[in-house]
């Protein structure tokens, strides 16, 4: 059984950075996908980053490529580094995971289909 808990959101100015953390209880070194999605008010949840744990293969939404980066920490933690933040990045950010990973979850658009979700952490970027 898998569970995820996010942390690290906050309020920053344009151009600043944040690091979000996702603790994955039940993290597996292969065969698992862990991703991040965000949801702006009145909009659908969209995937922004995903990693397939076998080989730590990542994929990112075009809107965040070159600014956001996933990395592996210790103790079953996956990070999402958010650099050069813009007001349009303001959203609730969710970590998600699916233990039954495979090619189907290697693209960022698969994140909303994952079966395990955290409670979310708010990121607010002011101009």
Distance CA 89, CA 84 (A): 10
Q: Is residue 101 pLDDT above 90, yes or no? A: no
- The predicted model gives 91-114 an average pLDDT of 94
User: In whole angstroms, what is the distance from residue 45 CA to residue 18 CA?
Assistant: 20
Cβ(69)–Cβ(80) under 8 Å?
A: yes
pLDDT digits (tens, 9 = 90+) for 2-57: 999 999 999 999 999 999 999 999 898 888 999 999 999 899 999 999 999 988 99
Q: What is the mean pLDDT of the chain?
A: 95
Which tens digits make up the pLDDT trace of 53-92?
A: 988 999 999 999 999 999 999 879 999 999 999 999 999 9
HEC-encoded secondary structure of 26-57: CCCCCCCEEEEEEECCCCCCEEEEEEECCCCE
For residue 22, what pLDDT is reported? 97
User: What pLDDT score does 75 carry?
Assistant: 79
Nearest to 8 by CA among 73, 87, 60: 73
Residue 1 has pLDDT above 90, yes or no: no
């Amino acid at each position: 059984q898998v569970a995820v808990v996010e942390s690290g959101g906050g309020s920053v100015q344009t151009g600043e950075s944040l690091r979000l953390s996702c603790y994955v209880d039940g993290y597996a070194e292969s065969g698992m996908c862990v991703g991040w999605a965000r949801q702006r008010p009145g909009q659908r949840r969209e995937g922004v980053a995903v990693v397939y744990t076998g080989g730590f293969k990542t994929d990112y939404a075009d809107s965040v490529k070159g600014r956001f980066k996933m990395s592996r920490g210790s103790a079953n933690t996956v990070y999402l580094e958010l650099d050069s933040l813009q007001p349009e990045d303001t959203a609730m950010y969710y970590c998600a995971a699916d233990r039954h990973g495979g090619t189907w979850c290697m693209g960022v658009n698969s994140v909303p289909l994952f079966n395990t979700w955290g409670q979310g952490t708010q990121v607010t970027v002011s101009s």
